Structure 1
Amino acid sequence: MRIKDKYSKVSVPNNTTIHACAESGDLIGFQRLLQNDPSRLHERSLLMVQTPLHVSVANNKVEIVSYLLDWSGPGEVELEAKNVYGETPLHLAAKNGRDELARMLLSHHANIEAKTNNGLTPLHLTVGYALRSGDYATVKTLLDYNANCFAEDNEGMVPLNYVPDILENEELRRLLCQNVEEQRYSDYNEDTRSGVQGILDELDRELSKIVGLHELKVQLRKWAKGMLLDEKRRSMGIDLGPRKAPHMAFLGNPGTGKTTVARILGKLLHSLGVLSSDTVIEVQRTDLVAEYLGQTGPKTRRKIEEAKGGYSICGRSIPFSNRADDRSP
């Protein structure tokens, strides 16, 4: 017997609603109503403004939820539909500890960071359920799907803030704290990798314009990567001591690329935050050495002051910084 023929022999009372079938778990009646009128897929209840998916999740009706998630008829199931409290079906699965349903919804790409009217994510709600029941299964499921442990509700509370620091909650606190540290480390590494790679790629593009100098390019890339990581560590509050001005001398015959490399490094130091400006001041011997005794010093000092915060090139490359912890040329 074909499925269509099978369902055609089942009668459903005219006063039966699709929400009633979802609540009771009447799969046959639910299917018949939905096949007769697919628009019922989005029908809302009067008081709670809930869809059939909301109701079936809240009442743990796995078969109906599965049927809705696999629905191939007209229209699409609204995974992100919100009830009067701003709760999605995933919120309801989380706050009621419906771990199997939470996994089903997440496997269909339900938004794990959706927020209710008061800013609660599914992780906030399932932490509340875990505190009441001692069942941490749904907490673990959401964390397995990388739920954001740093998400704040409207009062600025993250999920961990809801867990009292008492012995009974030690396992839950440990579980959340572990994921907080993992996410903090992961976010830092991702941020570091993307930032470092972007600057290094720009350095490579600039260096590629210079013919040859392979060993120098490799050395500069290693040096730049080390500088980048040091800046990231400082941004995390790690004390690496005062910055030291990276004075450099590029020696070689005319036309070997000394000035070009120096200009590239000036831009790199600015992108790292070591220099506050990408201005490049180029000087020759005559710009520094005066005709008369006693005038060379002041003349050179003026050029140094002019280059502070930027980069000065003088036959060899000398960076200057106007940072408080690094003022020497």
Structure 2
Amino acid sequence: MPGSQNGRPRPAKAETIHGLVRAGDLAGVQRKLQENPALLNDKNPVMSQTPLHVAAGYNNTDIVKFLLDWQGADAVELEAKNMYGETPLHMAVKNSSCESAKLLLEHGVYTEAKANNGMSPLHLAVWHALQTGDCSTVTVLLSYNADCYAKDDEGKIPLNHIPGGAGNEKLLQLLTRYMEEQRKRKAVMSCHEQQAMAEFEEAISQIVGLQELKMQLRRWARGMLFDEKRRAMGLGIASRRAPHMAFVGNPGTGKTMVARILGKLLYMVGILPTDKVTEVQRTDLVGEFVGHTGPKTRRKIKDAEGGILFVDEAYRLIPMQKSDDKDYGLEALEEIMSVMDSGKIVVIFAGYCEPMRRVIASNDGFCRRVTKFFDFDDFTTAELAEILHRKMNSPSDTSLLYGFKLHPSCSIEAIGELIARETTVERRKQLNGGLVDILLINARENLDLRLDFNCDDADTMITITLEDLEAGLRQISRQRQLR
């Protein structure tokens, strides 16, 4: 049936590490590895098996445990393959080595590894159960959710290898029961996708305005979640490319906040292993002297691995004049571009619209790697008023406005009209959402200024009024005039 004859490792000379493993000589194995740690993953000349293959096949659990816990410079290769493409887990399950199989599974070995003939460990465990009537290794694998629907190179799932007739009822019932459970779990995936989409909608609902951007993000999110469902159904589909992006817009339009939401989304659907967002600017990447920029940029890339690298004001990496040969920004950009095909990181370049054209034109591979371009429009006065309301209604405990509230007269309409009257279009374009933060700080200071020290009304002490907001906006205008 499967490739390795009877599945048992062939006898080896006792003085070799493979012979010591087969003989169950733990002390001898320990001595050998202390003398020569490179033997840890050494393959024997006949079957091309590592010591872990041999220990698992013979169920020498003390040696399996010792090898798995080895603390040397090199780690034991859990997924090493012998001449038949079998991993140590294949060897354990087809030789009734239940204890060894459990140890391997506890250390996170891959349950769906395929041998040269396409057989998974569950295929071989079923084969062994048919020969011996012992279903124990099948049960162990199923307890770790081994895929009952995995197909070998003949297109057969494990159940297909069980002939009908007397004597196989127990094995048939065991597999059939787990297949039904897995089928139900896959059906529940639809609930998972609905929940994931609901969480995503909740996250983007916190974004004010940017309706076109939110629609783009919804299309994207749904596509990734449907891909997850397709794979759960066993459909072989191509993987999506790492969605590197460019965020184009003025300061304060929410680019960083959207990047953080995307980090959670990409983690949620399994494209990234973490939801971290590492924010960098030119000074974090570019060195002052020859040879400094490369290592400096690579350190930041390493910090961001598994998540998003958010390059703010990315246009600052590109010199204004092509003749500026002392600028190392291009070197930093090239370092970033060199890892964008690795799948280990997602990069978001952010900046103003016009200057970002220099970034796009500076590197021929930019548009090939950066597949999503999102425009962040300036906020309207009504949207700025809505942002202010949200900040006041749900402040974080680290906010300077935590514990304060707005007077009932401070409706979104009234605040929007106030912002339109007291600020210029140019000023709003320069600050966008940043205007709200400055305004609230100024308003709180005005509240403190107008309160009497004899005031003992708690509500008055924490209530920001339209008068305070108006004073805060006028202060912003005065600060602008002084520049």
| TM-score normalized with structure 2 length | 0.39
User: Could you tell me how far apart the structure 1 residues matched to 2:191 and 2:110 are?
Assistant: 26
**Aligned letter for 2:145?**
N
SS at match of 1:55: helix
SS at match of 1:120: coil
**Aligned letter for 2:44?**
S
User: Could you tell me how far apart the structure 2 residues matched to 1:170 and 1:141 are?
Assistant: 18
**Aligned letter for 1:151?**
A
Q: Once the 2 structures are TM-superposed, how far is the Cα of residue 172 of structure 1 from its aligned partner? A: 0.8
1:197 to 178, 195, 201: 195
Per the alignment, residue 42 of structure 1 pairs with 41
How far does the alpha carbon of each residue in 1:166-215 deviate from its partner, in whole angstroms, 9 at most, with x for none? Answer: 1311111111011101001101102x1133234445666788899xxxxx
SS at match of 2:175: helix
User: Could you tell me how far apart the structure 2 residues matched to 1:118 and 1:54 are?
Assistant: 18
With over 3 angstroms needed to count, the CA separation of the structure-2 counterparts of 1:121 and 1:208, relative to structure 1, is same
Per the alignment, residue 167 of structure 1 pairs with 166
Per the alignment, residue 187 of structure 1 pairs with 186
Q: Mapping of 1:103-122 within 5 angstroms?
A: 103-122=102-121
With over 3 angstroms needed to count, the CA separation of the structure-2 counterparts of 1:58 and 1:200, relative to structure 1, is closer
How far does the alpha carbon of each residue in 1:255-306 deviate from its partner, in whole angstroms, 9 at most, with x for none? Answer: xxxxxxxxxxxxxxxxxxxxxxxxxxxxxxxxxxxxxxxxxxxxxxxxxxxx
Per the alignment, residue 129 of structure 1 pairs with 128
With over 3 angstroms needed to count, the CA separation of the structure-2 counterparts of 1:160 and 1:204, relative to structure 1, is same
Per the alignment, residue 19 of structure 1 pairs with 18
User: Could you tell me how far apart the structure 2 residues matched to 1:164 and 1:54 are?
Assistant: 29
Q: Which runs of 4+ in 1 moved over 6 A?
A: 205-210
With over 3 angstroms needed to count, the CA separation of the structure-2 counterparts of 1:206 and 1:19, relative to structure 1, is closer
CA contact (8 A) 2:58 2:97 kept: no
Q: Once the 2 structures are TM-superposed, how far is the Cα of residue 66 of structure 1 from its aligned partner? A: 1.6
User: Could you tell me how far apart the structure 1 residues matched to 2:113 and 2:178 are?
Assistant: 19
With over 3 angstroms needed to count, the CA separation of the structure-2 counterparts of 1:209 and 1:105, relative to structure 1, is closer
SS at match of 1:168: coil
Q: Once the 2 structures are TM-superposed, how far is the Cα of residue 25 of structure 1 from its aligned partner? A: 1.2
With over 3 angstroms needed to count, the CA separation of the structure-2 counterparts of 1:15 and 1:124, relative to structure 1, is closer
User: Could you tell me how far apart the structure 2 residues matched to 1:167 and 1:78 are?
Assistant: 41
SS at match of 2:168: helix
SS at match of 2:167: helix
How far does the alpha carbon of each residue in 1:5-62 deviate from its partner, in whole angstroms, 9 at most, with x for none? Answer: xxxxxxxxx9811111111112221111110010010111001111111112222222
User: Could you tell me how far apart the structure 2 residues matched to 1:42 and 1:203 are?
Assistant: 49
Pairs aligned (count): 198
**Aligned letter for 1:29?**
G
How far does the alpha carbon of each residue in 1:232-256 deviate from its partner, in whole angstroms, 9 at most, with x for none? Answer: 9xxx9xxxxxxxxxxxxxxxxxxxx
User: Could you tell me how far apart the structure 1 residues matched to 2:205 and 2:53 are?
Assistant: 58
Per the alignment, residue 75 of structure 1 pairs with 74
User: Could you tell me how far apart the structure 2 residues matched to 1:33 and 1:206 are?
Assistant: 59
Structure 2 gap segments, 5+ residues each: 1-12, 209-228, 234-483
Q: Mapping of 1:1-329 within 5 angstroms?
A: 16-190=15-189, 192-201=190-199
How far does the alpha carbon of each residue in 1:213-234 deviate from its partner, in whole angstroms, 9 at most, with x for none? Answer: xxxxxxxxxxxxxxxxxxx9xx
User: Could you tell me how far apart the structure 1 residues matched to 2:203 and 2:29 are?
Assistant: 62
Per the alignment, residue 459 of structure 2 pairs with none
**Aligned letter for 1:194?**
H
Identity value in percent: 47
With over 3 angstroms needed to count, the CA separation of the structure-2 counterparts of 1:145 and 1:202, relative to structure 1, is closer
**Aligned letter for 1:195?**
E
CA contact (8 A) 2:98 2:137 kept: yes
User: Could you tell me how far apart the structure 2 residues matched to 1:206 and 1:80 are?
Assistant: 41
